């Protein structure tokens, strides 16, 4: 589940985009000058499809979040817990200077939370039932403040822009690599052969994996900012206490799927090369960052 749904959606759109480019005859434009590529036209087309994929993922993010987690939106409070949750998010949103987000609860015993949405005034903040059951309210408030921090910092929009740029270059360079293999190595001078298609698909997969490392690096950096926002909007001791409690529960399975992992509160420690694909820094590092120099 560590590969984000956001990235998976973009990857699927990239594959579809490549097929559409071929069906529209764009490869004929690329080959118009023999073995030369029309790099300007290629870059424009790749940018249109690359940013299109990330924007589609952004605008569908709330819908995917609700469907993927079974989140129940609190429209009319059913009990005191719902009332407290709504009033807490409202006060935090006002303090952060953003519009009131939709507030929801998803049925998971894993302590987790996430925020998503296409802009800071049309977001969704949700927490798991397990977190509400086991965490004291001051720590739940700190976690909500952390998620509000993601929204106020514009992390989802910034991620979309970064993903759009990466999508563009994945499409762009995979086709250049395919072209070179087909025309230079395989000496194909008419149209594109099987070598072009196979090479382009393989290059697109490899470059997409490399691009996901950049997105994960960005996600880890923004997590520190969200922690700082949680400490500012709630309190540093409450934010540290929440992270310490999450660390004690690290053995529990993570049930938060897809793109939401990048904007959730918990994470799993990985070692070695797998750290490159971590959406969150290790909890120990996040706690030390909040505690400051000792």
Find out whether 268 and 250 touch, Cβ atoms under 8 Å: yes
Alpha-carbon gap, residue 208 to 16, rounded angstroms: 14
Find out whether 119 and 77 touch, Cβ atoms under 8 Å: no
Question: Which residues, listed in sequence order, are joined to residue 115 by a DSSP beta bridge?
Answer: 125
Residue carrying structure tokens 């929440």: 242
β-pairing verdict for 123-128 and 102-106: parallel
Nearest to 70, CA basis, from 3, 129, 137, 121: 129
SS3 23: helix
Residues annotated as part of the active site: 147
Alpha-carbon gap, residue 280 to 268, rounded angstroms: 8
Q: What is the b/e burial string over 1-18, where b = at least 16 CB atoms within 10 angstroms of the residue's CB?
A: eebbbbbebbbebbeebb
Alpha-carbon gap, residue 172 to 174, rounded angstroms: 6
Handedness of CA 51, 55, 61, 64 (dihedral sign): negative
The three-point CA angle 269-272-275 to 5° equals 50
């Amino acid at each position: 589940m560590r590969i984000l749904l956001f990235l998976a959606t973009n990857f699927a759109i990239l594959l579809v985009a490549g097929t559409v480019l071929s069906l529209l005859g764009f490869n004929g434009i690329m080959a118009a000058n023999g073995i030369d590529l029309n790099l300007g036209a290629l870059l424009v087309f790749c940018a249109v499809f690359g940013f299109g994929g990330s924007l589609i993922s952004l605008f569908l993010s709330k819908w995917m979040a609700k469907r993927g987690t079974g989140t129940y939106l609190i429209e009319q409070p059913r009990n005191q817990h719902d009332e407290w949750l709504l009033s807490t998010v409202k006060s935090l949103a006002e303090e952060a200077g953003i519009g009131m987000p939709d507030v929801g609860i998803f049925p998971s015993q894993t302590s987790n939370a996430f925020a998503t949405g296409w802009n800071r005034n049309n977001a969704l903040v949700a927490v798991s039932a397990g977190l509400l059951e086991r965490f004291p309210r001051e720590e739940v408030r700190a976690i909500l403040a952390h998620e509000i921090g993601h929204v106020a910092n514009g992390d989802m929009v910034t991620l979309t822009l970064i993903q759009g740029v990466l999508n563009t270059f994945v499409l762009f360079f995979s086709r250049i690599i395919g072209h070179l293999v087909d025309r230079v190595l395989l000496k194909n001078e008419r149209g594109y052969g099987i070598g072009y298609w196979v090479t382009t698909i393989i290059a697109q997969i490899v470059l997409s994996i490399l691009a996901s490392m950049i997105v994960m690096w960005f996600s880890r950096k923004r997590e520190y900012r969200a922690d700082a926002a949680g400490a500012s909007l709630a309190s540093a001791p409450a934010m540290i206490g929440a992270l310490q409690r999450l660390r004690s529960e690290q053995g529990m399975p993570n049930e938060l799927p897809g793109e939401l992992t990048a904007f959730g509160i918990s994470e799993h420690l990985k070692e070695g090369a797998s750290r490159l694909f971590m959406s969150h820094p290790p909890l120990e590092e996040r706690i030390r960052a909040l505690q400051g120099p000792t």
